[in-house]
Chain A
Amino acid sequence: MTATPTPAAAPTPTPAPTSAAASAQAAAPARALPANVAALALGDDALVLSHRLGEWAGHAPVLEEEVALANIALDLLGQARVLLSLAGDEDELAYLREERAFRNLQLVEQPNGDFAHTIARQLYFSTYQTLLYGQLASGESELAPLAAKAVKEVTYHQDHAEQWTLRLGDGTAESHERMRRGLDALWRFTGEMFQPVDGIDVDFEALRESWTASVTAVIERATLSVPDGPQSGAWTAGAGRQGLHTEPFGRMLAEMQHLHRSHPGASW
């Protein structure tokens, strides 16, 4: 593939493929291009969250909500397919990588928990995605066309999460408590969203401010308070973007990949 020079190209020098090294390194270095790093990070976010939301099928509290969550999951799967195809072969990337090769945020791999827990995850992540895609859509990177389409989808995801946060937080004592628990439990995974990503030319500190303002407004309208703990675990030596994942992710991957790995190349 030819490296398309983007104006905002990161300082990482792209080695010109010399004939000697070209054949041996053809596959691997291509993935390390900033644009591919970005596509892989965002694509993995979408793929993993899509799978988590898919786990609600047959288990959602009501039929209408099951369809809503499945719709959101399918939007995300569509985004994942486009993004992973930018980074390589989509099936190979989705089904044949080991845990350490995934670049998704730890937030999106967290288990569903109860419905409020899922909504808390949706609120945190869809707000981030809406702000990020909004900026990417107005930029000139190779992700701009995808972002322009996806921003409409994720704006709806954010609205869905917001509506439910308001109703659960400002609902019964039980729903209020569950919503609070969900927001608290996932808070420590939110800091990672604002780590700069190679190939994404966005001011992540400004993104953090907009995100905090937006999420705070919703949480306070829901009669809850913003968790006051740290936004990352003190013990982590990096996080999802570096390929370090939490324990439940391995089990999720095993389920997601086992069919493809058991029957390579199967189709119907």
Chain B
Amino acid sequence: MSSSTDWPLWEVFVRSRRGLSHTHAGSLHAPDAEMALRNARDLYTRRSEGVSLWVVPSTAITASSPDEKDSFFEPAGDKPYRHPTFYEIPDGVKHL
């Protein structure tokens, strides 16, 4: 199965129903976009998981780095006032 490593990697996004957004399902190898779409059909929708597929070259994705986790995500952890539940609704407000 060595040629598998020659083929580029693609990320697969599946939309399970109309009205929902595409969700990342996994990745696969394929020689080009058309074949990636077909492989995605065979690998990720064979149990009726989807009605629409996107494939994206993995190299086109810029991901956040685990090293940046502290500066990226931790500061949000102690800011409960960003959640709507932080606020008490005054008694007088009726239509909220």
Taking beta carbons and an 8 Å cutoff, which residues of A are in contact with B? 61-65, 67-68, 71, 159-160, 163, 167
Contacts and interface: CB of A to CB of B under 8 A. Distances in A.
Interface stretch (B16-24, B34-42, B60-68): B34-42
Interface in B1-55: 1, 3-4, 7, 28-32, 34-35, 38-39, 42-43, 46
A64 B34 contact: no
B42 A68 contact: yes
Q: How large is the interface on B (under 10, 10 to 19, 20 to 34, 35 or more residues)?
A: 10 to 19
A67 B4 contact: no
22 contacts: A61-B4, A62-B1, A62-B3, A62-B4, A62-B7, A62-B29, A63-B1, A63-B4, A64-B4, A64-B39, A64-B42, A64-B43, A67-B39, A67-B42, A67-B43, A68-B39, A71-B42, A163-B34, A163-B35, A163-B38, A167-B32, A167-B35
Contacts of A163: 34-35, 38
A67 B39 CA distance: 8
Contact of B38 (A61, A62, A63, A68): A68
Q: Which of B4, B29, B32, B38 has the most CB of A within 10 A?
A: B38
Nearest to B10: A64
B29 A61 contact: no
A71 B4 contact: no
Task: For the complex of A and B, list the 4 residue pairs with the smallest distance between their C-beta atoms, beginning with the closest.
Answer: A64-B39, A62-B4, A68-B42, A71-B42
B10 to A, nearest CB: 10
A64 B1 contact: no
Nearest to B35: A163
B95 to A, nearest CB: 52
A143 B32 CA distance: 38
A64 B28 contact: yes
Contacts of A62: 1, 3-4, 7, 29
Nearest to A164: B35
A160 B31 CA distance: 14
Contacts of B32: 167
A160 B35 CA distance: 9
A61 B4 CA distance: 8
A223 to B, nearest CB: 17
Contacts of B34: 163
Given A62-B1, A67-B43, 15 more contacts: A61-B4, A63-B4, A63-B29, A64-B4, A64-B28, A64-B30, A64-B42, A65-B39, A68-B38, A68-B39, A71-B42, A159-B38, A160-B38, A163-B34, A167-B35
Contact of A61 (B3, B39, B46): B3
Contacts of A64: 4, 28-30, 39, 42-43
A71 B30 CA distance: 17
A236 to B, nearest CB: 36
Contacts of A65: 39
Contacts of A61: 1, 3-4
Contacts of B28: 64
B25 to A, nearest CB: 14
B68 to A, nearest CB: 33
